[in-house]
Structure 1
Amino acid sequence: MLRIGYVRLQDTRSAEDTAALKSLGCHVVRAEEPTDPTSDGSSVLLSILDFISEGDELVVTRLSHLATSARELLDMIDRLEARGASLLVTEAEVSSIGESGRALRAALEAVASLEPAWSARRRKTAPAEDIRALQAAGVGPVEIARRLGVSRMTVWRKLKETTA
């Protein structure tokens, strides 16, 4: 069984977290800077999830190192379980296996059901080509926004991108 520690370098406690993971017997400790919230995820964590195998354990000090929402945490646990691996969170003293695993999953599912569906709230966007074509035809930004069903700010941003 391989214990893999993971730390997201997001605050002053990062050095303490790394030392704690090493003292817990993690064979490998990986750390990374937080990623842009609009990106697809953290590359180090994703590589750990691709590498981890049956019987291995991913160890973190806090759940906030893994994800920003309960839905993301559930997805993370599902990926680990699909590979036959488990999760250990040291500060909460919970694991993804056994009774604490069932309790963790139940709590995360309850919280995830209360979270807004971000994909449903995503705003409509318009291709920059359409905006440029309408502008070239002499249509003003307010009318472009109305015709394409987007905000005026979206039109202004796209126009600014094309001139920059």
Structure 2
Amino acid sequence: MLRIGYVRLRDAASAEDTATLKAAGCHVVRAEEPDGCQDETAALDSILDFIGEGDQLVVARLASLGRSAHAMLDVLRRLDSRGATVEALKEGVSNADAEGRAMLAVLQVLASAEPAFSARRRAPASEIRELQRAGVGPVEIARRLGVSRMTVWRKLRADA
């Protein structure tokens, strides 16, 4: 079992989080600093693409998984689809046990109460054009930028 640590660098406590993850036995610790730019979860996305069955994503805080309940649920679903688990050290929960499954149920309730648009962002037309010039299709552009396909099509149509 591979234990992969993930930390979002936001403040001075983040350095402590990195040390905590290493002390928790993480083989690899990936960190990223969200800056509000186009892909502020690139490290997390690469972990989710790489992680395998039986592996564990370890975070210091559950909130590291996303800005909203929708985003956290998405990460948990992606991990589940790959046969991996998550452990949040500060909260002391893992989705591998009964408490973790209860946590998932609570997140689902919270996500249902959140406005659907809260997790979306607007993608600048320049990013969309740049990806299109690189040969990326509209559906993949939408997935990479975290916007709807319709947003991509509107921006591309406006440029035509």
Structures share fold, TM-score greater than 0.5: yes
- 2:54 aligned with 1:55, yes or no? yes
Alignment partner, residue 3 of structure 1: 3
TM-score normalized by structure 2?
Answer: 0.71
Structure 2: runs of 5+ lacking an equivalent:
123-160
Query: Once superposed, which parts of structure 1, at least 4 consecutive aligned residues long, lie more than 3 Å away?
Result: 38-41
Alignment partner, residue 30 of structure 1: 30
Alignment partner, residue 69 of structure 1: 68
Residue identity in the other structure for 2:104: R
Deviation per CA, 1:14-72: give whole Å up to 9, x if none.
11000000000000001111142x73551111100011000000000112211000011
Identity of aligned pairs, percent? 58
Shift of residue 122, structure 1, vs aligned partner: 8.4
Deviation per CA, 1:77-131: give whole Å up to 9, x if none.
0000100100000001110112012111111011111101217x989xxxxxxxx
RMSD (CA atoms): 1.9
Alignment partner, residue 46 of structure 1: 45
Give me the whole-angstrom Cα distance separating, in 2, the residues matched to 1:2 and 1:17: 19
Structure 1: runs of 5+ lacking an equivalent:
124-164
Alignment partner, residue 89 of structure 2: 90
Give me the whole-angstrom Cα distance separating, in 2, the residues matched to 1:101 and 1:44: 24
User: CA contact under 8 A between 2:65 and 2:72: conserved in structure 1?
Assistant: yes
Spell out the pairing of 1:107-146 with structure 2 (5 A cutoff): 107-118=106-117
User: CA contact under 8 A between 1:35 and 1:42: conserved in structure 2?
Assistant: no
Alignment partner, residue 102 of structure 1: 101
Give me the whole-angstrom Cα distance separating, in 1, the residues matched to 2:33 and 2:45: 13
Q: Secondary structure at the match of 1:49?
A: helix
Aligned length: 121
Which structure would you say has the larger Rg? 1
Q: Secondary structure at the match of 2:78?
A: helix
